[in-house]
Amino acid sequence: MSLLTARNLSVGASTRSGDFPVISDLNFSLAPGKILGLVGESGAGKSMIGRTIAQFLPTGFSVTGGTLEFDGDNLVTMDSHKRRNLLGRDIVFIPQEPLSALNPVLTVGQQMREHLLRIGHTDQAPWRERALAAFESVHLPHGAGLLDKYPHQLSGGMCQRVLIAMAFASRPRLVIADEPTTALDVTIQARIVKLIAEMQKRDGTSVIFITHDLKLAAQICDEILVLYAGRPAERGPARALFSQPAHPYTRCLQLANPSMSGERRGLFTLPERMPGLRAIKDLTGCRFASRCPAVIPACREAEPPFLEIGPDHVAACIRPEIAATIMPPPPLPMPETASGEPLLSVDKVTKSFVTSWSLLRKTTEFRAVNEVSFALGENEFVGIVGESGSGKSTLARLVVGLDQPSGGRVVMAGRDVTANRRDDKAFRREHVQMVFQDPQSALNPRRRVASIVTQAIEAAGKRGDNTARLDRARQLLAEIGLPPEAALRFPSQLSGGQKQRVNIARALCAVPRILVADEIVSGLDVSVQAQLLDLLLRLRQERGFAMLFISHDLSVVRYLCDRVLVMYRGEVVESGRTEEVFSAPRHAYTRTLLSSVPPDDAQLDWSPDTVGDVAAGVR
Amino acid sequence: MFATIAKLLMKRLIVAIPILLVVSALLFIILRILPVDPAAMSLPPNATLAEIEAKRLEMGLHLPLIQQYGIWLAQVLHGNFGTSIHFRRDVASLVMTTLPSTIELAVFAMLIASIIGIAGGLILFHVRGTRKEAGLDFGSILLLSLPEFLWSLFLILLFGVALEWLPFTGRLSPGVERPTITGFLLLDSLLAGKPAVFWNAVQHMLLPCFALGISFSPSIMRVLRSSLLDVYQDDYIHQARLRGLSERRILIRHGLKNAILPTLSLMGVQFGFLFGGTLLVEVIYSYPGMGNLMVDAIRNADLPIIQAVGLTYCIVVLVISIAVDSLYLILNPKLRVR
């Protein structure tokens, strides 16, 4: 008996420029107490499935065929009143951004009370007890006045726990968790995933777990459905699908992710990107054909049928045996880093912020960065890992000169630039450039790409003529792998990955010797991430530069960086060659971090180190 | 929370002092630079030049301007705003008898503006994306583009002259006796137990209050609509829907509660403007408030009154802005000190 069944479900969008398929040929059945993983890159239609279940599709989108049955009732044709009764009670959602999913002007208690009343809690008096019991089941510290706290007073992990407590308060039958951990730190992520699994077991709930992380899905799901451009590519039992992928896309996704164990292997970089909504309509044959490494002419002739691979395992590929033969390329070599005078040396740098200021009381200080020392050699890539609030980004700002250290020294190419005087600033500009995290907000939307990437010419005060600037821009774009015609586009006309390339090109324009990159691949799809990582390695080979690479993703750091610094609460708790630190961590915090990453082999048991003080999350 | 509000009040009071000093200095000096001779104004028209000169010396007008300001300020701080040149009465008592009327007018007009503005904003938001939207949008812009004095004239013509439903001059009908306890007519008539007087006063206030209220409501409407549109993009609205809450509950409890914050800032600013806007409306309706006093004073170059009334407007606007900021603090938990 299945709880939720999709039969040939398809969703379409109708716009002024025509009708587009958004989701097609979706088939799955979710048994009670099971977890179904929906995996795919952004734009694949993962979230649209959640919205179809709730029937909250964006304007212009509608179900164009098939059925979606929940406990025998077709959700597609169900009247809105009946469906609204199911929502929040039998079908619940855990959102992606916990901080923004709670109303900022209501306390946690008020929101919990509203929800309890909604799901049929009638007596007024003991709602507090019931709320606290629900919070206790998600391991939130109670008694700490949690009910009277506003969402902004809690950390992201705590907000997510509140939302999970709300979701499970009615003992629902179906939970849809839409990337519930993407916005959270690795260590928190592991705990939240484990928590959802724990609650799911307690109530025997069915869960749809939407994620872009195939490895994570393989760990916690019973069944996985891989979506590509709105159509299932492969569906099967989680471990079977992960260990013997039968669709080239599944295999490529796996290989695009850097490994955490064994030899450092190359990343499989898929060319270009997934076709968008408008492009899908005009495609004939397999949607993945244009990017598939094993494509044959027959692939482009007709949409591939779903072939039975094994028990409950189907793949939309005409040659399912081919997936296993796709092999990763050899890894890009890591050049020997010259030992000698370091390019950058940071000596006992401290940055403190005054948190409360008063004439009468003693001022309290918060040390975001506490006596951190490290060196960066010529051509060396150094990774900085740690959770949010560990001081990674502050350290980056100190190096670039966006902030002034409260103590310590920063020496760059043999020159002490700590004081950051006028000439120090000019010197810094020539030597170090920063790539910001979010290309969306880092690129001025009113400037063309050519003008953005050559901003360094402006900054240096050289008024180059326009043709020279355009030539330089085209040269930079060629280096980062964008077509020359991109020079005259605006950022809004580029994809996320292309924007991040422009962001990198801008930093490279001044030919810096050091690049400081703050989480530049987080938030990008794995295939785009792989492209960017290889771009950085290739650029290092071609032109040579050192990089300080800040990331919360350990596998990326393992792939890219020669050395790694582990930061915790403003201090470097461990540092060394990446391979050594990751294979034999010495500090307890490094071990916690490493255990939070799901293992490469789905057969291995994942037991993240969940020891940790949740209460530390209260701000 | 009260500590935070107390802190805010302290801060604002400290800022208010220099603002008042600057405004009072500007008022005093600009009025003194005008080619008006207070000495000549305060004497009968047939006074001789010698008499005027003597009066000038008596009034201290030969002293340097800064010194004159100092003397005036010292007097003001003692509560002495001088004597009206035209009315030959104490300025402070003149202002104190007219101020309550103007406050009553402004508060009720603001109340009407808020009710029309918030209701209109909700309606505008409700019809978003439908065919009614264009029509209502047009209507709200039409309201926005008509100034309060046109509304005053329009309402007089319609309800006063054509339909003869409501009176449109003064505060009370002739022959109605006015009780005086606090100076606030509506309050006094209730305190004195005279509902007939109260009702008469309300009838006189309806047209001016609506004229002001209607003209100040469209901007509230439009800001509320657009901030509701913003708020509805937020995740918590979507999440509330996914929890199966009703649309009405989502709008009032989740949408409006967040969208009201930016609207409230605007309403604070609006209230300040509206207080200034009473001037024209009072003149049109012969409403015996501070605006009429001010217009009379300007006509007669009655400098002490202009100074005192100008300063009063300034103080009222400061008080309003402090009140709005405190309200903002109460409604927005993010601003409270933890």
CATH code, domain with A550: 3.40.50.300
Question: Is B333 close to A150, i.e. CB distance below 8 A?
Answer: yes
Tokens 């030969």 belong to residue: B62
**β partners of residue A175:** A92, A207
Q: Is residue A186 part of a domain?
A: no
Interface membership of A145 toward B (CB under 8 Å): no
Q: Which of B311, B277, B279, B308 is nearest to B295 (CA)?
A: B279
Give the C-alpha separation, A238 to A224, whole Å: 5
Q: Is A542 inside a domain boundary? A: yes
pLDDT at B1: 67
On whether any CB of chain B is under 8 Å from the CB of A92, the answer is yes
Chain A residues touching B245 at Cβ < 8 A: 88, 114, 118
pLDDT digits (tens, 9 = 90+) for A348-360: 999 988 766 555 5
A156 touches chain B (CB under 8 A): no
Q: Do B242 and A88 touch (CB under 8 A)?
A: yes
CA–CA gap between residue B171 and residue B151 (Å, rounded): 19
Closest CA to A231 of A469, A9, A476: A9
Q: Would you call B333 and A152 a contact, using CB atoms and an 8 Å cutoff?
A: yes
Interface membership of B243 toward A (CB under 8 Å): yes
Whether residue A596 is contained in a domain is answered as: no
Distance between start and end Cα atoms, chain A? 46
**Low pLDDT (below 50) residues in chain B:** 338
The beta-carbon neighbor of A85 closest among B236, B240, B244 is B244
B57 touches chain A (CB under 8 A): no
| C-alpha distance from A524 to closest chain B C-alpha (Å) | 21
Give the other-Cβ count within 10 Å of A492's Cβ.
Answer: 10
Residue A598 lies in a domain: no
Are B98 and B293 in contact by the 8 Å Cβ rule? The answer is yes
How many separate domains does chain A show? 2
* Distance in angstroms (rounded) separating the CA atoms of residues A294 and B21: 81
DSSP string for B64-127: -HHHHHHHHHHHHHTT---B-TTT-SBHHHHHHHHHHHHHHHHHHHHHHHHHHHHHHHHHHHHT
By C-alpha distance, which of B295, B289, B284 is closest to B157?
B284
Chain B contact present for A166, CB below 8 A: yes
d(CA B248, CA B254): 10
CB atoms near residue A175 (< 10 Å): 23
How many other CB atoms are found less than 10 A from the CB of residue A379?
A: 19
A152 touches chain B (CB under 8 A): yes
- Final residue belonging to a domain, choices A135, A168, A201: A168
Find chain A residues with C-beta within 8 A of B241's C-beta: 54, 56, 87
Long-range Cβ pairs for the range B63-69 (8 Å, 24+) = B65/B29, B65/B32, B68/B28, B68/B32, B69/B25, B69/B28, B69/B29
Residues in chain B: 338
**Contact: B239, A86; criterion CB under 8 Å:** no
Cα(A110)–Cα(A112) distance, integer angstroms: 5
Q: Is A444 part of the contact surface with chain B (CB cutoff 8 Å)?
A: no
CB contacts of B239 in chain A (<8 Å) are 93, 95, 101-102, 163
pLDDT at A566: 94
ipTM, 2 decimals? 0.80
d(CA A364, CA A525): 41
Supply A562's token pair.
């020669």
Q: Is residue A67 part of a domain?
A: no
User: Which residues span the domain enclosing A365?
Assistant: 344-446+496-584
Nearest to A87 among B244, B332, B338 (CB): B244
Task: Write a three-state SS string for A261-281.
Answer: CCCCCCCCCCCCCCCCHHHHH
Residue with tokens 């586009």: A489
- A88 CB near a chain B CB, below 8 Å? yes
**Element holding A517 (H helix, E strand):** strand A514-518
Whether A448 contacts A486, CB under 8 Å: no
**Whether B238 contacts chain A with CB within 8 A:** yes
CB-nearest to A152 from B236, B245, B334 is B334
CA distances from B173 to A50, A96, B181, B291 (A): 67, 65, 19, 20
| Backbone phi, psi, residue A184, to 5° | -110, 165
User: Which of B128, B231, B243 is the best mutation test for A, with the most CBs of A within 10 A?
Assistant: B243
CA A579 to chain centre: 23
CB pairs under 8 A between A and B: 72
Q: How far apart are CA B20 and CA B13, in angstroms?
A: 10
Is-contact A406 A491, C-beta < 8 A?
no
Q: At what angle do helices B195-231 and B257-284 cross, to 10 degrees?
A: 140
**CA–CA dist B193, B185 (Å, integer):** 12
Q: Token pair for residue B263?
A: 């609207």
Nearest to A289 by CA among A308, A304, A267: A304
- Would an 8 Å CB–CB cutoff place B337 in contact with chain A? no
Neighbours of A346 (CB within 10 A): 24
Residue A524 is assigned to a structural domain of this protein:
yes
Asked whether the beta carbons of A446 and A452 are under 8 A apart, the reply is no
A350 found inside a domain = yes
The gap between the terminal CA atoms of chain B, to the nearest Å, is 9
Residues on chain B touching A104 (C-beta within 8 angstroms): 236, 258, 333-334
SS3 call for A207: strand
Name the residue facing A102 among B236, B244, B334 (closest C-beta): B236
Beta bridge partners of A546: A514
Tokens standing for residue A318: 């005409």
Count of other CB atoms within 10 angstroms of residue A49: 25
A193: Cβ–Cβ under 8 A, 6 or more apart, which residues? A180, A181, A216, A219, A220
Cβ atoms within 10 Å, residue B66: 11
Residue B290 CA to residue B304 CA, distance in Å, equals: 14
**CB-CB: which of B239, B257, B261 is closest to A93?**
B239
Residues (pLDDT < 70) of chain A are 122-125, 142-144, 336-339, 355-363, 462-464, 609-619
For the stretch A240-286, pLDDT in tens is 999 999 999 999 998 988 888 878 888 888 887 788 777 777 788 89
Asked if A226 contacts A235 with a C-beta cutoff of 8 angstroms, the reply is yes
Q: What is the pLDDT of residue A374?
A: 92
For every residue of A15-58, which 3-state class applies, written as one string? ECCEEEEEEEEEEEEECCCCEEEEECCCCCCHHHHHHHHHCCCC
**List of chain A residues whose C-beta atoms are within 8 Å of the C-beta of residue B331:** 105
Q: Residue B279, by phi and psi: left (phi above 0), alpha (psi -120 to 50) or beta?
A: alpha
What's the order of all strands across the beta sheet hosting A4-15?
A18-30, A4-15, A61-70, A73-74
Domains and their CATH numbers in chain B:
99-302 (1.10.3720.10)
Alpha carbon of B235: minimum distance to chain A alpha carbons (Å): 5
* Phi then psi dihedrals of residue A419, to 5 deg: -70, -25
Q: Is A427 inside a domain boundary?
A: yes
Q: Which DSSP string do the residues of A316-382 spell out, in sequence order?
A: S-S-GGGGGG--PPPPPP-PPPPPSS-SEEEEEEEEEEEEE--SSSPPEEEEEEEEEEEEE-TT-EE
Helix (H) or strand (E) holding A208: strand A206-211
Query: Nearest residue of B to residue A87 by CA position?
Result: B244
Backbone angles phi, psi at A423, to 5 degrees: -75, -30
In chain A, residues with a C-beta closer than 8 Å to the C-beta of B257 are: 103, 105-106
How many helices (H) and strands (E) are present in chain A, helices listed first? 21, 22
Structure tokens, A267: 């990343």
What is the dihedral angle through the alpha carbons of A501, A502, A507, A513, rounded to the nearest 10 degrees? 40
Contact A88 B245 (CB under 8 A): yes
User: What is the Cα–Cα distance from A260 to A597, expressed in whole angstroms?
Assistant: 8
- Which secondary-structure segment (H or E) carries A225? strand A223-228
CA distances (Å), A92 to each of A53, A87, A191, B155, in order? 10, 6, 20, 54
